[in-house]
Chains A and B, each alone.
Chain A
């Protein structure tokens, strides 16, 4: 098969090309930060970045993303991750936390595109990331705070 590039690492595996990226990450690569919750692109828990755009990995067969740059929560540089951890902790923007890696990836894509997002920008970018714990106003606050702190130009490790 062609090569898959996950977090700047080239993955060489014999995998059915129809397999959604989510399950390649979780079952083949043991990267469990990206979550399964709906399997139909409805909830955003499986969000990863492809060329800095958020995609739902549960409905993205790997054959569609060969030679693209895939970034998962595990692939974020340590300093960025620390900033995110700090901002989310300060705003208390997590309860059960299951949706959070997906929320973070969507938020990063938003801030890359719009470094000073408005409420409407946040609504638009985050409407597909469901949080069953329902702490949206905390997540919104965290996104504002992360945007204010700023993120590095290159959010990819290495």
Chain B
């Protein structure tokens, strides 16, 4: 992030020229995520704001924002924050997609952070604007600003009831000093935050007008598609370009760093060309990788202690007659994101730099990654020096954000971006590079598959004294993430990690390690409860005495799901609890088992404490979607490996939950007045253990491996 003031050259200014409309521009600076200062300017970009708020003479309010819209609803929820404090109607505020320019601040869209990062910033931006507009009106009327107030985009003088629209005030408002202190509304005065507001992006999306990366069309554009080496890290050995070029519409065949690309007039032609190439590959470093032997190796490695990555409390000894031991092992598969829109990017490398249209969760990262290919070595060094001098990083590489057809963490990577840039650089024309579904499935950045050994020592009452969790996986960070995060009071807790290098690309998958380790933790706590036959809900409550917020959420979900009450015959429930991103979630899954042992999932009830809720419907939608996403991974799909490559290729062998399979979902809010927590990921992790625990309640069979089968479980 750019900090402090800097001078922007003519070149940098021109790049930003498109946002410099006539009107009042308020820039809010936020170094290190802390609100520090604000200024207003018309067009001098002598500072580095995160947020650009533009109020035009026609009363239109625009918010230039860096966050990507991938279905999580930022295009609707973020303007609500501004409108609340600016005192305008939501319909007046439009989010305009910012480009990758450094001065739009941190654009990384992941980790359920968009609302959390902007909760104060956008409200302060709105409030600063309101105070300056009021000051402008007061100046015109020669009254004290204290005697005026703002409502619905108008400043009113209380006594005389004189009124001036914001649009009429901007020319004078920009001359007002930005207030030093910016008071925010108390929650009881909110008229937009927490109130109903329909999503603003739906009309364009359902009508097909919304532009996703896949939908970009530029004059002179060619369409490219790519084959990556089937074995990770492999290289191209040979191919027959002539065979591809004989397809009508195929223009070029080329090798780039990551594979072989065919460029054609259309995607279908490019695909036909690619099929004919007869590419031979050199294998990568791990041509033997296969799932069964990898997990066997995990089990073998787990025989020895791993590196301690978390340790807290004092260990109790196992004493005959007074303590009890319990051990279990859990296995979790690799998973792919499988965004609905496959990886794609449109790039145009030209004399002045490069324009990129990408469905990306990380525009600045994409821009920086592209620089390696846009520029030669010397030029890149010069650009870097220039960037450091101006604080504006690679201003001539501009990433234009499109809508994202899902994100889930996959689009934090830049592989698809730099490929399009390389092809455009070689050919000098705009290139839209599209990955086939098969390439998307087999060249992902996967959630790691892990093996987990659990060992607990229990006291006489069956409560855990020691909890040791040993994790073996292909990486450390994303495999152990969340394992230390146990809400329950346990006197001794240790997490160990062992890494087996596999060469498999690993990435952030919606909820990161939460989806792995919550299955382990919430299943194992259920196993411990079962040792003394204690009801799993009451058992959890016993261990939550020091966690009132968790207790509230757990109680709320039990109440809403009618836990412990009479259920329809053959129906059983399982419960799970999770905390992350400053939100707490609990879920109860209700299932039934048929005579033949077939499991049906009827309902998932989800309670959440995510602090202040900005938009209830969007939060509910995120939780519903998160539950289905977690359910798909729990019961439907996994990524497996054979002879070094990924086996799954499309929705036939990587099926996701469909409409008839989707259980009913109920969401309960446990309302707590505090800053909002994240909601994009937290519903994903508890689903699998809630279902597995319900299956245990129904059948006595403990599920310790995912994905679980719903067929013939008994």
Contact = CB atoms under 8 A, between A and B. Distances in A.
Interface residues of B, number: 66
A81 B207 contact: yes
A30 B406 CA distance: 23
A30 B217 contact: yes
A104 B660 CA distance: 17
Nearest to B408: A132
A85 B650 contact: no
Interface string B640-665: 00000000001110001111101011
Interface string B234-256: 00000000000000110000000
B205 interface: yes
Contacts of A39: 436-437, 650
Interface in A94-151: 94-101, 103-104, 122-124, 126-140
Contacts of B657: 134, 136
Nearest to B627: A134
A134 B650 CA distance: 18
B259 interface: no
A67 interface: no
Given A37-B340, A37-B341, A130-B340, A101 B206 contact: yes
Given A92-B621, A123-B659, A137-B664, A98 B207 contact: no
Contacts of A33: 207-209
A43 interface: yes
Contacts of B618: 92
A50 B248 CA distance: 28
Given A16-B248, A37-B340, A92-B617, A134 B662 contact: yes
B208 A36 contact: no
A5 B211 CA distance: 25
Contacts of A90: 198
A82 to B, nearest CB: 8
Contact of A96 (B71, B211, B248, B658): B71
A72 B209 CA distance: 12
Contact of B406 (A26, A42, A81, A98): A98
A60 to B, nearest CB: 12
Interface of chain A, helix or strand or loop or mixed? loop
A40 interface: yes
A79 interface: no
B625 interface: yes
Nearest to A76: B207
Nearest to B653: A42
A134 B434 CA distance: 24
B268 A23 contact: yes
A42 B651 contact: yes
Given A16-B248, A92-B199, A137-B662, A98 B212 contact: yes
A42 B206 CA distance: 20
Contacts of B629: 132-134
Given A32-B215, A35-B214, A98-B341, A136 B659 contact: yes
Contact of B267 (A26, A37, A100): A26
B214 A36 contact: yes
Contacts of A128: 658
A64 B63 CA distance: 48
A137 B664 CA distance: 7
Contacts of B72: 95
A71 interface: no
B247 to A, nearest CB: 9
B404 interface: yes
Given A90-B198, A92-B618, A130 B207 contact: no
A98 B340 contact: yes
A62 to B, nearest CB: 11
Contacts of A139: 659
B687 to A, nearest CB: 11
Contacts of A72: 208
B632 A27 contact: no
Given A27-B268, A127-B660, A134 B628 contact: yes
A99 B631 CA distance: 19
B383 interface: no
Nearest to A20: B268
Given A89-B199, A132-B406, A138 B621 contact: yes
B338 interface: yes
A94 B340 contact: no
A19 B73 contact: no
A73 B617 CA distance: 26
B201 interface: yes
A39 B338 CA distance: 14
Contacts of A20: 268
A122 to B, nearest CB: 7
Contact of A85 (B207, B267, B406): B207
Interface in B244-300: 248-249, 265-269
A46 B73 CA distance: 24
B223 interface: yes
A10 interface: no
A147 to B, nearest CB: 15
B95 to A, nearest CB: 15
Contacts of B202: 85, 88-89, 92-94, 97
Contacts of A81: 207
Given A39-B437, A85-B207, A95 B621 contact: yes
Contacts of A32: 208, 211, 214-215, 217
B476 to A, nearest CB: 29
Interface string A19-61: 1100100111010111111111011010000000000000000
A133 B341 contact: no
Nearest to B632: A134
A36 B657 CA distance: 19
B499 to A, nearest CB: 30
Given A97-B201, A137-B662, A23 B267 contact: yes
Nearest to B249: A16
B403 interface: yes
Given A133-B406, A134-B632, A96 B340 contact: yes
B208 A38 contact: no
A137 B214 contact: no
Nearest to B215: A32
A97 B632 CA distance: 19
Nearest to A122: B659
B659 A42 contact: no
Question: Which 3 A-B pairs rank lowest in CB-CB distance, beginning with the nearest?
Answer: A33-B208, A134-B628, A97-B205
Interface of A: 16, 19-20, 23, 26-28, 30, 32-40, 42-43, 45, 72-74, 81, 84-85, 88-90, 92-101, 103-104, 122-124, 126-140
8 contacts: A23-B266, A45-B340, A94-B206, A96-B405, A103-B206, A132-B656, A133-B625, A135-B624
Given A40-B437, A89-B202, A133-B628, 7 more contacts: A16-B269, A27-B267, A36-B342, A43-B340, A72-B208, A96-B339, A133-B625
